[in-house]
Amino acid sequence: MNNKTVTAFAVLVVIVAGCGKTDVPGAPIAGSSAGGAPVSVTTVAAEQRDVDVQLEATGAVTALSSVDIKPLISSTITQVHFKEGQFIKAGQLLFTLDSRADETNVAKAQAQLQKDLASLADAQRQLARSKELLAQNFVSQTAVDTNQSLVDAQSAVVESDRAAIKAVQVGLSYTRIVAPNSGRAGTVNVFPGTLVQPGSPPLVTITQLDPIAVAFNLPQRNLPDALQSLRSGGGRVTAVLPEGRGTLTGKLAFVDNSVDANSGTVRVKAAFDNKNEVLWPGAFVGVRLVVQTLKNAIVVPQAAIVQGARGRVVFVVEPGNRAVARQVELVNASGTDAVVTGLRAGERVVLDGRQNLRTGSPVIERPAEGASGAGSGRPGASAAGSVASR
């Protein structure tokens, strides 16, 4: 065998040896899985807890009731009985209009009633006398019938007078404008002496602030979830106030009866108690609608999941401080948390240092800075998004 043949054989051996190496995630590295230097990692424990599946959107605060107050007659404002921004109770007197003409009409109608009542009484006396005379054969039946007709006609006149009084009293009632609902008064646009008419701009707007609603749009694909939540009594909805001012919890109260063909979304509303008036009509807030609760779910940080050619895996530290790749299925994800299957509660999942691991790699755990479990979430914390398997 000459020198060239020996050289070619050596090159072939090197190539074959190189082909034996693999770079598949999770496969052991030659010389490292059994006797390589330990890899420094941080771990978190897989948690088991209930996780809320939420839909997120941006909503606009809207009043459940907002009424524009307008006069029903043309008249002049004589008195305003409240102040701008005041809380108004239903039935409270708001404005008084000039009522002199209507009061005069009522008095005139009542006087006419008294006159016609007197005529009715006289006709009834004549009827009674004619009946007595008929019994004594001094008058004919025709005279009695005539007096009876007079009584009937006068009774109809009296009823007409009473109806006329009710009509003018209705007109008189329009001179006192009362609140149809409770709420907060807006800007007052009139003052004593202002002439108002039915077609004039609103005198004031009364807006109900407690309870209050938040309206938002959901994609068409989430309509079944919203309807199911509404049928079950209204799913829990959280309003996230801007600038970190806290949250409010309410219930889903309304799902529109059609999908917007232009946007492919459906309009929904949630109702909130608003005693402290932290929600104000026209403001924008973040909205989270709980559509499902995953019971006893296994939760790990999303950062611990490695996406490989064969799916998602996490590295679990087993007894003996060796890392093992475990294939998992993603059920739900939001923020830093992920709900997965394929793990058991309490298993130690590698968070930092996973990029240097293969199955069987020895590890040394180091303390994690500020780590306190999967996603650092408290038990029962919510996870937004949609179920990945749907």
Q: What value does the CA radius of gyration of the chain take, rounded to a whole number of Å?
A: 42
Environment class of residue 117 by beta-carbon count within 10 Å: exposed (0-12), middle (13-18) or buried (19+)?
Answer: middle
Residue 291's pLDDT is: 76
At 369, the pLDDT band (50, 70, 90 cuts) reads low
Residue 166 has pLDDT above 90, yes or no: yes
Average of pLDDT values for 176-199?
Answer: 94
Of 54, 110, 72, nearest to 196 (Cα)? 72
Residue 386's pLDDT is: 39
At 309, the pLDDT band (50, 70, 90 cuts) reads confident
Q: Which fold has domain 55-65+208-293?
A: Elongation Factor Tu (Ef-tu); domain 3 (2.40.30)
25-50+295-384 CATH: 2.40.420.20
CA–CA separation, 165 vs 158, rounded Å?
11
In 302-384, the DSSP E strands lie at 306-308, 311-318, 322-334, 337-341, 348-352, 363-365, 382-384
Average of pLDDT values for 157-169?
Answer: 95
Assigned token pair, 266: 């459906």
The pairing of strands 247-259 and 322-334 is: unpaired
Higher pLDDT, 174 or 7: 174
Question: For the chain, what are the domain ranges?
Answer: 25-50+295-384, 55-65+208-293, 72-97+177-207, 99-174
Residue 212 has pLDDT above 90, yes or no: yes
Residue 231's pLDDT is: 86
| 72-97+177-207: CATH, from 2.30.30.140, 3.10.350.10, 3.40.50.2020, 2.40.50.100 | 2.40.50.100
Average of pLDDT values for 255-281?
Answer: 93
Average of pLDDT values for 151-175?
Answer: 95
Q: Which fold has domain 99-174?
A: Helix Hairpins (1.10.287)
Residue 26 has pLDDT above 70, yes or no: no
CB count, 10 Å around CB of 72? 14
What percentage of residues in the chain have a pLDDT greater than 90?
Answer: 59
Question: In this structure, are residues 247 and 240 in contact, taking their beta carbons and an 8 Å threshold?
Answer: yes
Residue 38's pLDDT is: 87
Residue 74 has pLDDT above 50, yes or no: yes
Residue 284 has pLDDT above 90, yes or no: yes
Residues facing residue 157 across a β-bridge: none
